[in-house]
A and B are shown apart, each in its own frame.
Chain A
Amino acid sequence: MDYIDYYKILELDKGASIADVKKAYRRLARKYHPDLNPNDKTAKGKFQQINEANEVLSDPEKRKKYDKYGQDWKHAEEFERAGEQRAPYQRSQGRQSRAEDFSENDFSDFFESMFGGAPGGSRRGQSKFRGQDFNAELQLTLADVFKTHKRTLTVNGRNIRLTIPAGVENGQTIKISGHGGAGVNGGPNGDLYITFSVENHSKFKREGDNLHTHVDLDIYTAVLGGEITVDTFDGMVKLQVKPETQNGTKVKLRGKGFPVYKKEGEFGDLYLIYKILVPVNLSAKEKELFRELSKNHKHEN
């Protein structure tokens, strides 16, 4: 556990007044407050540090103890035993961040070692707080999210039956209201945010609701045309190939792509890119026929 320089965090020198501390706290809180920096873990961490520094430096008793023993925090216990009766904690600032953003687990070990745990108190007397929001990640495969399905998750010891809509995207987050941490003083529960990590092990590349894949095509079908059978994400389909199809030709199979999120029965498109295979291990007869074709072709040109 390392010493934390609260003055440095609030960009203050040791002679700063309480008013300076408040001013510095407000300035930095406006910069790093989680409400103003959504999904930014760095800002959230910084805000927690600022809050902690403010807890200490704006409270004369805590600040005195910190100034005296901060660098040598391991001796803080002796300071306690020396007869200082620590008053029950009260926030010196009028308002602090909600429980959701700044739960007691977010205080540093250093703070807890010196001041015996996270501060209590509340924004105004016995205000009710929403519980902490929980974040979870759910690993799924592309096949999992092709169809709407139900799944039971265990989050903080509670089982949650969840419907995962078809078409969920990699990195998408959904909110399950009321399944976060319990509220404080009768406040409502927090919410549970689930981020989907969708892994793709299939031969199909996904781009939004559309799928893309390569299809091998033998040279004879490419030249003469014909019927082939191709894989789509949910089965095989028959397809007519036009004569004289070129390598890299792209065809669209409408409605054979990925389900559109929360639009039951709607699908994106499947794009097939033909990869024409040149025959190998030709027999003498085949080579002869190709030579003939070649001569014929040169002659006609």
Chain B
Amino acid sequence: MRTEHLIPVENLCSQYNIEFSFIDSLHEFGLVQLTKVEESRYIFPEQILELERMIRLHYELDINIEGIDAISHLLQRVDQLQDELRILKNRLNRYEPG
């Protein structure tokens, strides 16, 4: 597999100053997807934003992995509900403009 678009987990840990075990636990919980290429572990760039949020939840707010898992599900739900609300507001505007 080509690795030029992947981010080595080792670099990530050093950049954010976090332990590998934390990323590994997130991986075990299915919260991030890691891929192994020639004994090195990599993460896909599109997951970085989500990973940064989990780092903040854990290191800034002392939330454990189980808590992060629950929060991730709830935030997805909030996102869906906000989308639904936007669509309903637009629909309501048809009848009550302004």
A and B found bound together: yes
Given A33-B60, A96-B60, A127-B17, also A207-B90 (CB < 8 A) = yes
Q: Give chain B nearest CB distance to A97 CB in angstroms.
A: 7
A65 within 8 A of B: no
B56 within 8 A of A: yes
**B94 contacts A33, C-beta separation under 8 Å:** no
Q: Give chain A nearest CB distance to B32 CB in angstroms.
A: 16
Q: Give chain A nearest CB distance to B98 CB in angstroms.
A: 12
- Residues in A whose Cβ lies below 8 Å from that of B63: 30
B82 within 8 A of A: yes
How would residues 34 to 64 of chain B score, 1 for a CB under 8 Å from any chain A CB and 0 otherwise? 0000000000000011001100110111110
Given A29-B60, A35-B57, also A125-B90 (CB < 8 A) = no
B21 within 8 A of A: no
Cα A147 to Cα B3 in complex, Å, equals 37
Given A30-B61, A36-B71, A169-B86, also A98-B91 (CB < 8 A) = no
A172 within 8 A of B: yes
Q: Give chain B nearest CB distance to A66 CB in angstroms.
A: 23
**A35 contacts B56, C-beta separation under 8 Å:** yes
Interface of chain B: mostly helix, strand, loop or mixed: helix
Name the contact of B94 in the complex, choosing from A26, A95, A207 (C-beta under 8 A): A207
Within 8 A of B (CB), among A5-36: 26, 29-30, 33, 35-36
**A98 contacts B56, C-beta separation under 8 Å:** yes
A128 within 8 A of B: yes
Cα A170 to Cα B85 in complex, Å, equals 12
- Residues in B whose Cβ lies below 8 Å from that of A96: 60
Within 8 A of B (CB), among A87-118: 94-98
**A97 contacts B94, C-beta separation under 8 Å:** no
- Residues in A whose Cβ lies below 8 Å from that of B49: 191
Q: Which 6 pairs from chain A and chain B are nearest by CB? A: A124-B17, A171-B86, A205-B94, A95-B60, A35-B53, A95-B59
Q: List 7 A-B contacts (CB under 8 A).
A: A35-B53, A38-B75, A38-B79, A97-B56, A123-B60, A124-B17, A127-B17
B interface residues with partner A (beta carbon < 8 Å) = 15-17, 48-49, 52-53, 56-57, 59-63, 71, 75, 78-79, 82, 86-87, 89-91, 93-94
Beyond contacts A33-B60, A172-B86: 12 other A-B pairs, Cβ-Cβ < 8 A, are: A26-B62, A29-B60, A30-B63, A36-B71, A123-B17, A123-B60, A124-B17, A125-B17, A127-B17, A128-B16, A171-B86, A207-B91
A interface residues with partner B (beta carbon < 8 Å) = 26, 29-30, 33, 35-36, 38-39, 94-98, 123-125, 127-128, 130, 169-172, 187-188, 191, 205-208, 212
